[in-house]
């Protein structure tokens, strides 16, 4: 590769909104129900049925627009996007083309070099999701589940402002954070409540005009996005270097194979014949409505970070991590509100919680244990009713099943034994049984005490306060 | 008592008085259908057993005092593009030959809540596209006044059923004149209310921004009573309007004193049949004699209404009819290759010529590169037409004119020349584009004995003014006839 190339990336991010009901009917949006049990004439496109906009969808879309510095379109409309496919029961999707609800926004991200840049948001529009096609290989037929048909989505269309996979991830993380803070979506990539299509082109460094772009679909993790960007960048550079032409087309990323293949090119692109949906009246956003939504906007991350620095004596690093994920911040604040010491709560989150999340691949949004139980666990250690290794053991159980730590400690008999007599007896027995170590210790080998503490803890079945054991042994050995 | 000849108001009163019952009424009308419908083909589906069962249930409730309104126990015919739970709803199309809705349209529910007995589903132009009821996949309906002639359309089955006594009243839908024009051709009363007055939920859409359900009745009194029952604010229809003035029967007074009536010169111009013109102007004189002021004026833009209408209605229809794809319900072709092969073949075989013509027209005007030139321009014309009406209603309380340029043509005459058929909608279409209420009232016959209709058009939400003028006219004519 003789020349230097620059990658230019724009993103179309679809976010499933966390409404209880669908965008145009009253059916539930709950995940995982039996096929076609959450449907009605509207979301199955039966003749004569009509859509009615769910106001919560509009409010969420506006809230996201405000949080991403967009202009809110005061007179907005829904349009029909016409195309035939069985997952789309009306054979048109209700979306927004001509007058999307939010326009001209942007969010700030940190670049790899540690600088800051604004990624522009061209528009945010509201639309309905399609049903799910299930291809039954065994019966050689396709079945459609319309439970997802009509689930509300917003599509956030960025400007082509990103130049690397790192910037793309930073941008998506920023969006996810803002949307999670708003409670507008849980933004889970794996479950598809946040999906991104990557529009990518390459050009010679310093070139003024953009190259021909492709659109990549089926990217359901940050890792897949990173790999797809690398793969597509290399593919386009290879084409250009070989004197060939990049074709404007939609490509599907196969993360297992690590390559993409063409789905459809622009030549056979469909004409969607967009036009305003006559079944839905134009949306007029009043000043009062905007004001109401503005006032309801939650404390966002920057404000939260400032407040944490002010209120809690915890390291900046902890603040950064905890506020990075709304569910962690919620957990932290709730446990503190229950009386737990901020530093202790922060330690549990930064330590065991993050460790187990990583080990067991659990998203912050999917944490099971309640702040009440975390606060109780902290209280148990604070009052020295359990020692720290027992606490970790209890936490693991709590992490999986949200077990009540008090109850669990009680049932399993894990409380620290504060019986002075029993402890003395155990210590004396350990000293008597380990003359070598006693000797070593007395000869100045500090480490030997550790072995003796361990032996004593073992004799106590772990239910002693290691600090107290240590002190007691030293006392005995001084004699 | 000849039940088949009674109005809804008369029949309901007789049932309430115990002179007859809802069951007897249903039986009498079903007998009339049995006797006459082979000649006229008003119905696609007659729900004989269902009607009798409903009648029995309604009669019990009337006796228990639960139903006391002017429609309780009265048999009604429903146009076949209005969904009825458990009852075949075909839109007179092969593509919906087996479609049984899982729910009932809100307008029909309103009738049922008032104790109506649904007789069955009436024939129509396929998907309401046509002006003669000849584009039906189930054969044309014939005009009961002269079976060599069409009943008009698209609600031709409903209008003919009312005229033939095959129902006491009917409901239809009007997108560009589909209630008023067949009412005019068949000599009955038909009304298209202000857009948003009657819920469209359950009306299988043709041109969503223009469609309204309305009554076809034997007289103006029934028309007011039926519209009063049909009208409601429906949260399931975003275009439904909440209005407090739907007590339309209170407008049935014989008084047009001081009413300002305008007759557009544009509605009396070239193409208007001489006999129709005379009858309409005579009707205006009747109202003038009762104290209304009548004058001519230029409405303007009338010639642009037809192209604007066919652009907008076809565009919406091309999208509305996409759901008929043979996947979940309706007609599916036997042999096909691949998904898109199935779509193409099912739709090619399932839709009739006129529907396909409008789908193609609509797809064309929405396609990229033509959208601005056709669809957007048509919307601009629509807005200008509304403005022209606004200016007219600043001067007049209502507008008077013919419903159609001629009386009912003979069968087969119109389909040969679709453009001519489209031009026949010239006086009705602008009303839909502007969302206004319009009523058709019989105002005589031509020399061949074919009915002529008088059209009254009101400003938005002025149904009461329309009904009052129509009622006054009807009463004057009745009195005159009795004295002659």
pLDDT in tens, A30-53: 988 999 999 999 999 999 999 999
Beta-carbon contacts of residue B314 (< 8 Å; ≥ 6 apart): B207, B358, B359, B361, B362, B365
Burial B160-170 (b: 16+ CB within 10 A, else e): bbbbbbbbbbb
For the range A131-135, what are the long-range contacts, defined as Cβ-Cβ under 8 Å and sequence gap of 24 or more? A131/A86, A131/A87, A131/A88, A131/A89, A132/A87, A133/A86, A133/A87, A134/A35
Own/partner contacts of A305-309, CB < 8 Å, gap of 24 or more, are none
Is A152 touching B (CB cutoff 8 A)? no
Residue A269 Cα distances to A57, A194, B396, angstroms: 30, 25, 52
Separation between Cα atoms, residue B169 and residue B151, nearest integer Å: 16
Which residues between 222 and 241 in chain B have a beta carbon less than 8 angstroms from any beta carbon of chain A? 235-239
Kindly determine whether residue A45 and residue B89, on different chains, have CB atoms separated by under 8 Å: no
Residue with tokens 């073992």: A458
Q: Which of B89, B209, B325 comes nearest A91 by C-beta?
A: B325
Edge-to-edge strand list for the sheet holding B212-217: B43-46, B117-122, B75-79, B169-174, B212-217, B189-192, B438-445, B451-458, B398-402, B260-264, B293-297
Task: Give the per-residue pLDDT at A424.
Answer: 85
A328, containing H or E segment? helix A326-337
Query: Cβ–Cβ contacts within 10 Å for residue B39, how many?
Result: 12
Q: Which of A53-57, A429-433, B33-37 has the lowest mean pLDDT?
A: A429-433
Q: Does A295 contact chain B (CB < 8 Å)?
A: no
Cα B18 to chain center, whole Å? 32
Q: Is B22 helix (H, G, I), strand (E, B) or coil?
A: helix
Q: Which residues does residue A219 pair with via DSSP β-bridges, in sequence order? A: A196
Residue A218 zone, left/alpha/beta (φ > 0; ψ -120 to 50; rest): left
Contacts of B205 in chain A (CB under 8 A): 47-48, 279
What b/e string do you get for B220-236 counting C-beta neighbours within 10 Å, with b at 16 or more? Answer: bbbbbbbbbbbbbebeb
Lowest mean pLDDT among A218-222, A374-378, B330-334, B438-442: A218-222
CB B234 within 8 A of CB B240: yes
The SS3 of residue A173 is: helix
- Specify whether the CB–CB gap between A187 and A199 falls below 8 A: no
Lowest mean pLDDT across A165-179, A423-437, B366-380, B429-443? A423-437
Indicate if the alpha-carbon torsion angle B123, B127, B129, B134 is positive or negative.
negative
End-to-end CA distance of chain B: 25
CA A155, CA A53: separation in Å to the nearest integer? 17
**Contact flag A91-B99 (C-beta cutoff 8 Å):** no
Tokens 């290794």 correspond to what residue? A389
CB atoms within 10 A of CB B338: 8
Contact between chains at A48 and B99 (C-beta distance less than 8 A): no
Of B208, B212, B177, B214, nearest to B195 by C-alpha is B212
Quickly state the pLDDT bin for A463 (edges 50, 70, 90). confident
Question: Is B287 an interface residue toward A (CB < 8 Å)?
Answer: no
The number of beta carbons lying within 10 Å of the beta carbon of residue B444 is 17
For residue A3, the tally of other CB atoms under 10 A from its CB is 9
Q: Give A273's contacts in chain B (Cβ within 8 Å).
A: 318-319, 363, 366-368, 371
Question: Has B154 been annotated as catalytic?
Answer: yes
Please report residues of B whose CB lies closer than 8 A to that of A89.
323, 328
How many angstroms away from the CA of B211 is the closest CA of chain A?
11
For A259-314, the pLDDT digits (tens) are 899 987 665 668 999 999 999 999 999 999 999 999 999 999 989 999 999 999 99
Mean pLDDT rounded to a whole number for chain A: 92
What is the Cα–Cα distance from B179 to B474, expressed in whole angstroms? 19
Residue of A21, A39, A48, A280 for testing the chain B interface, max B β-carbons within 10 Å: A48
Among chain A residues, the shortest Cα distance to B364 is held by: A273
3-state secondary structure of A350: helix
Which of A296, A240, A248 lies closest to A269 in space, CA to CA?
Answer: A248
Overall residue count recorded for chain B in this entry: 484
Say if the Cβ atoms of A273 and B339 lie within 8 Å: no
Closest CA–CA distance from residue A86 to any residue of chain B (Å): 7
Q: pTM (2 decimals)?
A: 0.89
Q: Residues 265-284, chain A: which have Cβ within 8 Å of B?
A: 271, 273-275, 278-281
Distance from A142 to chain B by nearest Cα, in Å?
11
Terminal-residue alpha carbon distance, chain A: 77
Please say whether the dihedral angle defined by the alpha carbons of residues B170, B175, B180 and B184, taken in this order, is positive or negative: negative
Instruction: Mutation target for A interface from B318, B328, B363, B371: give the one with most A CBs within 10 A.
Output: B328
User: Any idea which residue has 């496109």 for tokens?
Assistant: A45
C-alpha B454/C-alpha B285 separation (Å) is 12
Question: Helices H, strands E: what count in chain B?
Answer: 15, 11
Q: What ipTM did this prediction achieve? A: 0.96
Which residues of chain A have a CB within 8 Å of the CB of B366?
Answer: 82, 273-275
Q: Could A86 and B339 be called an inter-chain contact, meaning their C-beta atoms sit closer than 8 Å? A: yes
Question: Cβ separation of B339 and A278 shorter than 8 Å?
Answer: no
- Among B99, B204, B239, select the one facing A281 at the smallest CB separation: B239
pLDDT reported for residue A11 = 97
pLDDT at A42: 97
Does B80 touch chain A if contact means CB atoms closer than 8 Å? no
Residue B38 near chain A (CB below 8 Å): no
Q: Name the minimum distance, in Å, from the CA of A304 to any CA of chain B.
A: 40
Q: Which of A21, A27, A39, A47 to mutate to test the interface with B (most CBs of B within 10 A)?
A: A47
Mean pLDDT per 10-residue interval, chain B, length 484 residues:
95 96 98 98 98 98 93 98 98 98 98 98 98 97 98 97 98 98 98 98 98 98 98 98 97 97 94 96 98 96 93 98 96 94 97 97 95 96 97 98 97 85 91 98 97 98 98 96 80
The answer to whether the CB atoms of A273 and B368 lie below 8 A apart is yes
CA dist A350 and A319 (Å) reads: 10
Q: What is the dihedral of CA A432, A435, A440, A441, to 10 degrees?
A: 10
Mind telling me how many Å the CA of A50 is from chain B's nearest CA? 6
> Which of A49, A92, A280 is facing B238, going by the closest CB pair?
A280
pLDDT score of A268: 63
Average pLDDT over residues A410-425: 80
Average pLDDT over residues A7-34: 96
Of the residues B126, B324, B327, the best mutation for testing chain A's interface (the one with the most A CB atoms within 10 Å of its CB) is B327
Judge if the upstream peptide bond of residue B154 is cis by omega within 30 degrees of 0. Answer: yes
Structure-block tokens of residue B285: 């004189």
* Residue A76 touches chain B, beta carbons under 8 Å: no
Does B102 reach chain A within 8 Å, measured CB to CB?
A: yes
Whether B296 has its CB under 8 Å from any CB of chain A: the answer is: no
Q: Which of B204, B340, B367 sits opposite A48 (nearest CB)?
A: B204
| Rounded distance between C-alpha atoms, residue A6 and residue A279, angstroms | 45
Yes or no: say if B200 and B212 are a contact pair by the CB < 8 Å rule: yes
- Per the CB < 8 A criterion, the answer to whether B73 and B117 are in contact is yes
Chain B residues within an 8 Å CB radius of A54: none
Scan for tokens 């300002």, then name that residue: B260
Catalytic residue check, B356 = no
Q: In whole angstroms, what is the distance from residue A253 CA to residue B12 CA?
A: 69
Q: Which residue is closest to B341 within chain A, CA to CA?
A: A84
Q: Examine the residue annotation and report whether B79 is marked as an active-site residue of this protein.
A: yes
Nearest CA-CA distance, residue A82 and chain B, Å: 7
- With CB atoms and an 8 Å threshold, state whether B236 touches A50: yes
Confidence band of A479 (pLDDT split at 50, 70, 90):
low
Closest by Cα among B425, B353, B450, B407 to B134: B353
DSSP secondary structure of A217-264: EEE-SHHHHHHHHHHHHHHHHHHHHTT-----EEEEEETTTTEEEEEE
Residue B309 contacts A where some CB pair is shorter than 8 Å: no
Of B92, B93, B131, B178, catalytic: B178
Other C-beta atoms closer than 10 Å to the C-beta of B57 total: 14
Distance, in Å, from the CA atom of A333 to the CA atom of A223, rounded to the nearest integer, reads 31
Catalytic residue among B93, B136, B154, B155: B154
d(C-alpha B194, C-alpha B190), whole Å: 13
- A295: closest CA of chain B, how far (Å): 28
H or E element, residue B3: none
From the list B238, B322, B367, the residue facing A91 with the nearest CB is B322
Query: Would you give the DSSP letter of residue A28?
Result: B
Mutate to test the interface with A, among B79, B87, B320 (most CBs of A within 10 A): B320
Pair A42, A24: CB distance under 8 Å? yes
CB pair distance less than 8 Å for B205 and A279: yes
Yes or no, beta carbons of A51 and B238 under 8 Å apart? yes
Stretch A69-96: mean pLDDT, rounded?
A: 97
Question: What is the torsion angle, in degrees rounded to the nearest 10, for the CA atoms of residue B75, residue B76, residue B77 and residue B81?
Answer: -140
Residue A420 has pLDDT above 80, yes or no: no
């Amino acid at each position: 590769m003789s020349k230097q190339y620059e990658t230019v990336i724009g993103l179309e991010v679809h976010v499933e909104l966390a409404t209880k009901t669908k965008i145009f009917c009253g059916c539930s949006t709950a995940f995982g129900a039996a096929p076609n049990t959450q449907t009605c004439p509207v979301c199955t496109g039966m003749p004569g049925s009509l859509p009615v906009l769910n106001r919560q969808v509009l409010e969420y879309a506006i809230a996201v627009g405000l949080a991403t510095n967009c202009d809110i379109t005061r007179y907005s409309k829904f349009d029909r996007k016409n195309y035939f496919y069985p997952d789309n029961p009306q054979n048109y999707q209700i979306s927004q083309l001509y007058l999307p609800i939010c326009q001209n926004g942007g969010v700030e991200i940190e670049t790899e070099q540690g600088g800051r840049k604004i990624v522009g948001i061209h528009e945010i529009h509201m639309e309905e999701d399609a049903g799910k096609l299930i291809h039954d290989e065994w019966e050689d037929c396709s079945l459609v589940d319309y439970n997802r048909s009509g689930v509300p989505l917003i599509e956030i269309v960025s400007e082509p402002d990103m130049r690397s996979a790192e910037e793309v991830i930073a941008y998506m993380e920023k969006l996810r954070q803002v949307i999670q803070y708003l409670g507008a979506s849980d933004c889970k990539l794996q479950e598809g409540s946040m999906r991104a299509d990557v529009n990518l082109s390459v050009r010679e460094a310093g070139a003024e005009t953009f190259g021909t772009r492709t659109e990549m679909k089926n990217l359901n993790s940050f890792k897949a996005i990173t790999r797809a960007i690398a793969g597509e960048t290399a593919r386009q550079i290879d084409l250009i270097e070989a004197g060939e032409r990049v074709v404007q087309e939609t490509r599907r990323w196969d993360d297992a194979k690590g390559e993409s293949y063409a789905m459809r090119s622009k030549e056979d692109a469909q004409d969607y014949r967009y036009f305003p949906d006559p079944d839905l009246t134009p949306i007029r956003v009043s000043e009062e409505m905007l004001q109401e939504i503005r006032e309801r906007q939650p404390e966002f991350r920057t404000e939260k970070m400032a407040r944490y620095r002010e209120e809690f004596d915890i390291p900046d690093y902890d603040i950064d991590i905890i506020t990075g994920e709304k569910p962690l911040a919620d957990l932290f604040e709730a446990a503190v509100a229950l009386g737990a010491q901020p530093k202790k709560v922060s330690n549990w989150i930064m330590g065991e919680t993050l460790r187990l999340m990583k080990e067991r691949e659990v998203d912050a949004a999917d944490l099971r244990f309640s702040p009440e139980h975390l606060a109780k666990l902290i209280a148990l250690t604070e009052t020295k009713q359990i020692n720290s290794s027992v606490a970790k053991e209890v936490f693991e159980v709590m992490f999986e099943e949200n077990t009540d730590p008090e109850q669990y400690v009680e049932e399993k008999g894990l409380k620290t034994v504060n019986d002075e007599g029993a402890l003395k007896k155990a210590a004396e027995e350990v000293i008597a049984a380990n003359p070598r170590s006693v000797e070593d210790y007395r000869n100045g080998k500090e480490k030997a005490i550790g072995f003796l503490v361990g032996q004593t803890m073992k004799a106590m079945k772990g239910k002693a306060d290691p600090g107290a054991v240590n002190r007691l042994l030293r006392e005995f050995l001084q004699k | 008592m000849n039940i088949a000849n009674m109005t809804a108001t008369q029949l309901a009163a007789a049932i309430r008085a115990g002179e007859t019952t809802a069951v007897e009424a249903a039986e009498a009308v079903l007998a009339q259908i049995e006797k006459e419908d082979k000649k006229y083909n008003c119905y696609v589906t007659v729900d004989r057993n269902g009607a009798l069962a409903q009648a029995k249930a309604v009669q019990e409730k009337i006796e228990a005092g639960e139903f006391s309104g002017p429609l309780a126990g009265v048999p009604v015919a429903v146009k076949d593009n209005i969904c009825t739970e458990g009852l075949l709803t075909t839109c007179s199309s092969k593509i919906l030959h087996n479609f049984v809705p899982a729910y009932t349209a809100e307008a029909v529910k309103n009738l049922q809540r008032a104790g109506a007995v649904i007789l069955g589903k009436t024939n129509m132009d396929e998907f309401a596209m046509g002006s003669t009821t000849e584009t039906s996949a189930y054969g044309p309906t014939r005009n009961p006044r002269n079976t060599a002639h069409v009943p008009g359309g698209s609600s031709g089955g409903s209008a003919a059923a009312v005229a033939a006594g095959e129902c006491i009243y009917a409901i239809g839908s009007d997108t560009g004149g589909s209630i008023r024009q067949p009412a005019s051709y068949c000599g009955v009363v038909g009304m298209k209310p202000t857009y948003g007055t009657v819920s469209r939920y359950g009306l299988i859409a043709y041109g969503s921004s223009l469609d309204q359900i309305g009554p076809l009745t034997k007289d103006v009194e029934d028309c007011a009573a039926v519209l009063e029952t049909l009208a409601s604010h429906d949260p399931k229809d975003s275009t439904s309007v909440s209005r407090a003035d739907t007590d339309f029967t209170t407008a049935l007074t014989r008084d047009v004193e001081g009413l300002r009536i305008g007759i557009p010169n544009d509605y009396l111009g070239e193409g208007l049949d001489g006999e129709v013109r005379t009858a309409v102007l005579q009707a205006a004189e009747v109202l003038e004699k009762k104290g209304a002021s009548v004058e001519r004026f230029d409405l303007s833009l009338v010639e642009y209404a037809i192209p604007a209408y066919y652009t907008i209605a076809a565009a919406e229809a091309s999208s509305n009819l996409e759901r008929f794809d043979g996947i979940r319900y309706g007609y599916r072709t036997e042999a096909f290759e691949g998904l898109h092969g199935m779509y193409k073949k099912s739709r090619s075989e399932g839709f009739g010529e006129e529907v396909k013509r409008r789908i193609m027209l609509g797809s064309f005007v929405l396609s990229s590169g033509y959208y601005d030139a056709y669809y957007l321009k048509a919307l601009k014309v629509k807005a200008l037409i509304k403005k022209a009406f606004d200016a007219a209603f600043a001067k007049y309380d209502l507008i008077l004119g013919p419903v159609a340029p001629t009386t009912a043509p003979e069968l087969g005459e119109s389909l040969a020349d679709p453009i001519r058929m489209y031009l026949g909608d010239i006086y009705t279409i602008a009303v839909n584009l502007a969302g206004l209420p319009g009523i058709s009232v019989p105002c005589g016959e031509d020399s061949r004995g074919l009915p002529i209709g008088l059209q009254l058009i009101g400003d938005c939400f002025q149904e009461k003014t329309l009904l009052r003028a129509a009622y006054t006219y009807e009463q004057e004519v009745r009195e005159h006839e009795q004295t002659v």
